[in-house]
Amino acid sequence: MTTDNETTSPLAQREYKYGFVSDVETEEFPRGLSEDIVRRISAVKNEPEFVLDFRLKAYRHWLTLTEPTWAQVEYPLVDFQAIQYYSAPKNKGDGPKSLSEIDPELLATFNRLGIPLGEQQRISGVAVDVVFDSVSLGTTHQAELEELGVIFCSLSEAIQNHPELVKKYLGKVVPYKDNYYATLNSAVFTDGSFCYIPKGVRCPLDLSTYFRINAAGTGQFERTLLIADSDSYVSYLEGCTAPQRDENQLHAAVVELIAMDNAQIKYSTVQNWYAGNAEGKGGIYNFVTKRGLCQGKNSRISWTQVEAGSAITWKYPSCILQGDGSRGEFYSVALTNNKMQADTGTKMIHIGKNTKSRIISKGISAEESSNTYRGLVKIMPSAEGARNHSQCDSLLVGDKCSANTYPYIEVKNNTAVIEHEATTSKISGEQIFYLKSRGLEEEQAIGLLLNGFCKEVFKELPLEFSVEAVKLLEMKLEGSVG
């Protein structure tokens, strides 16, 4: 990583409207990673002993690991000593306060991002937790949720106010030894969202976290923990953006979901981190571990993601189907353009009887980008009657891009039924001409084609997200279809 702080030219901003930088005073730690930094993060957050222990175990384990290289992505090894592990807007470092006390510059930032936080303009029907660099700024609609017994707050707040829940579940689905980036996250995570839905509650609001990286040279290491108790339901949305900078920035997050008996979690992401410029300079390295545990009987977890940003995406939202009759779903649209690289997919681990999984992956690659689907379906000996259906479609735009599909299937119980389909197609000039010859403008024509290709995934997104997702993809592909 370079230490070049310059943001790229205003001309390039046309393509990425979230590329601005907010001018806020911050409290920052010096660059570099050491046991001392890990201890300082824990101290500044006034954490109980068990959290510090977790961090230190992770840090010591991380020192023994080497960065993985199996993904189909290329980048210079990350210099972990050049990264800053903590950056927080001033006054917020000592723990979250009420949203009404937020720096007006920050409110303006989130207004520009389309996430109004002011009491008056808040989006109805969605409770939002906003994470800015290393800390959560606050959470909307908290009182409304409390009445139902729903806990929705920043992870830091949860560590203070609900340590018993955090202690019970932190690292349960993604243990600190899990993988290189998850281990790093376990050592240095600074904030994230926490959510607990009590038994029998159908959460009436969509819960949402919006992640914003602002400071230069900073990594974002957030951690989200979501527990749906028996017979509960929650729909959770996640959005991300970052300023346009010439340097690469690291985002290594961990998300853990746990669903008890008959509980259902729908987790949707629209990821639009800055992806670098047309020459491939700058952009976020998005190295994320997301995993859900269907612990209870007939529980259900579905991941829906629209991955449209980041210079490099390395991400495999997965489900461990432990409870009998549980179900895991993965719906993904991954778009790469310019020199972006994405290696993304899922893992479905069938343990319980009659567990089902469904994978629908749509990869769109344009220009010189590389787009890889990597998925594992594993049927354990105990998983009597398991079923999986996977469908992986790739759409190529132009002829310099590449698309790869690596489906791994391991079956240890012969009652399993597994289906896998894969297709590769191209947006052709003929399709565009046909649609234009009926009066549709080029953008509209491309939008229609993308919509058609991604339909099965978009219909899983909450409505406001799906409109946004179509617009985002159209904007990204503008000018790249010939």
Partner 1 sequence: MLNIENLHVRVEEKEVLKGLNLHIKAGEIHAIMGPNGSGKSTLSKVIAGHPEYTVTSGSITYDVNFRPKNVLEMQPDERARNGLFLAFQYPVEIPGIPNVEFLRAAFNAVCKHQGVDPMETKAFDAFVREKAKMLEIDSSFLDRELNVDLSGGEKKRNEILQMAVLNPRLALLDETDSGLDVDSLRIVSEGVNKLKTEDNAIVMITHYHRILNYIKPDFVHVLADGRIVRSGDVSLALEIEDRGYDWLLN
- Chain contacts with partner 1 (rule: CB under 8 A): 425, 428-431, 433-442, 444-445, 448-449, 451-455
Residues in Cβ contact with 348 at an 8 Å cutoff, skipping those fewer than 6 apart? 318, 319, 321, 328, 330, 357, 359, 375, 376, 377, 378, 388
Neighbours of 19 (CB within 10 A): 19
Q: Which is nearer to partner 1, 144 or 441 (CB)?
A: 441
Dihedral of alpha carbons 106, 111, 112, 115, sign:
positive
Q: Please, what is the minimum distance in Å from the beta carbon of residue 333 to partner 1?
A: 12
Q: Please, what is the minimum distance in Å from the beta carbon of residue 315 to partner 1?
A: 25
Q: Which is nearer to partner 1, 275 or 450 (CB)?
A: 450
CA distance 42 to 189: 9
Give the DSSP H/E element, type plus range, for residue 129: strand 126-132
Compute CA distances 52 → 69, 118, 194, 323, 464, whole Å: 29, 34, 18, 32, 39
Q: Please, what is the minimum distance in Å from the beta carbon of residue 177 to partner 1?
A: 42
CA distance 42 to 457: 39
Q: Which is nearer to partner 1, 267 or 453 (CB)?
A: 453
Q: Please, what is the minimum distance in Å from the beta carbon of residue 449 to partner 1?
A: 7
Q: Which is nearer to partner 1, 205 or 446 (CB)?
A: 446
Dihedral of alpha carbons 452, 457, 460, 461, sign:
negative
Q: Please, what is the minimum distance in Å from the beta carbon of residue 445 to partner 1?
A: 8
Q: Please, what is the minimum distance in Å from the beta carbon of residue 451 to partner 1?
A: 7
Amino acid at 279: E
Q: Which is nearer to partner 1, 265 or 481 (CB)?
A: 481
Q: Which is nearer to partner 1, 230 or 428 (CB)?
A: 428
Q: Which is nearer to partner 1, 5 or 423 (CB)?
A: 423
CA distance 400 to 396: 9
Q: Match 């290709």 to its residue by tokens.
A: 453
Q: Please, what is the minimum distance in Å from the beta carbon of residue 332 to partner 1?
A: 16
How would you class 76 by CB atoms within 10 Å of its CB: exposed for 0-12, middle for 13-18, buried for 19 or more?
A: exposed
Q: Show the tokens assigned to 425.
A: 């197609």
Q: Which is nearer to partner 1, 68 or 482 (CB)?
A: 482
**Cβ distance 32 to 81 under 8 Å?**
yes
Q: Which is nearer to partner 1, 102 or 333 (CB)?
A: 333
Q: Please, what is the minimum distance in Å from the beta carbon of residue 275 to partner 1?
A: 25
Q: Please, what is the minimum distance in Å from the beta carbon of residue 434 to partner 1?
A: 4
- Report the Cα–Cα distance between both ends of the chain, in Å, rounded: 34
Give the DSSP H/E element, type plus range, for residue 1: none
CA distance 227 to 260: 8
Q: Which is nearer to partner 1, 166 or 445 (CB)?
A: 445
Residues in Cβ contact with 124 at an 8 Å cutoff, skipping those fewer than 6 apart? none
Q: Please, what is the minimum distance in Å from the beta carbon of residue 444 to partner 1?
A: 7
Q: Please, what is the minimum distance in Å from the beta carbon of residue 477 to partner 1?
A: 16
CA distance 4 to 47: 34
Q: Which is nearer to partner 1, 14 or 436 (CB)?
A: 436
Do strands 87-89 and 26-28 pair parallel, antiparallel, or not at all (unpaired)? antiparallel
CA distance 381 to 31: 47
